[in-house]
Amino acid sequence: MANVRVERTEDGGFRATNARGAEVRMGGGDEDGVFTPVELLLAAVGGCNIVTVEPLTAQRGHRLVRLAMTVESEKVQPNLLGPVTITYDVELPSEEADAVYRAVAERVHEKYCTVSRSLQEGTEVRLELS
């Protein structure tokens, strides 16, 4: 089970913390040094894909020289995102690595990235008030 705690901080900002002690600061789009919740959602999509693609390509003998991506979306309504687009930025170690990287990235996107698949399937979000 995944679990994070999100809370307001003493300085009026917000922080998400996991059980392993990692934290991310959040706020509005006009604040420096923080992620917006939408940016964190996009980071989760990118992170899920990249942390799965990297070891799978390396296991197949093709560690990519550079592996990065841009994840973007626009709001189509004030409270709804349109399609999320992942654009890879890679440097391949060889021509044969290209086919491996493309096959792995496609498979990860279609089958293995929990975050992307959950968004695509429309995972229910439940609210419990205490």
Strand partners, 91: 66
Q: If we measure between CA atoms, which residue out of 40, 44, 5 comes closest to residue 26?
A: 40
Asked if the model's pLDDT at residue 27 lies above 90, the reply is yes
| Torsion angle defined by CA atoms of residues 95, 58, 109 and 77, in that order, rounded to the nearest 10 degrees | -90
Q: Can you tell me the distance from the alpha carbon of 105 to that of 32, in angstroms, rounded to the nearest whole number? A: 33
With bands split at pLDDT 50, 70 and 90, how would you rate the model's confidence at 62?
very high
Summarize pLDDT for 103-124 with one digit per residue, the tens: 999 999 999 999 999 999 999 9
Top-confidence residue, 2 or 5? 5
pLDDT for 1: 79
Pick the CATH number of 36-121 from 1.10.287.1770, 3.40.50.300, 2.40.160.60, 3.30.300.20: 3.30.300.20
Residue-averaged pLDDT of the chain: 95
Summarize pLDDT for 40-57 with one digit per residue, the tens: 999 999 999 999 999 999
Asked if the model's pLDDT at residue 102 lies above 90, the reply is yes
Evaluate whether 105 touches 87 at the Cβ level (below 8 Å).
no
List % helix, strand, coil for the chain (3-state, nearest 5).
40, 25, 35
pLDDT for 5: 97
Q: pTM of the predicted model, to two decimals?
A: 0.92
Strand 66-72 relative to strand 75-77, pairing: unpaired
pLDDT for 127: 94
Beta strands per DSSP E along 2-119: 4-8, 14-18, 23-26, 66-72, 75-77, 80-81, 85-91
Q: Can you tell me the distance from the alpha carbon of 103 to that of 77, in angstroms, rounded to the nearest whole number? A: 34
- The SS3 assignment for 95 reads helix
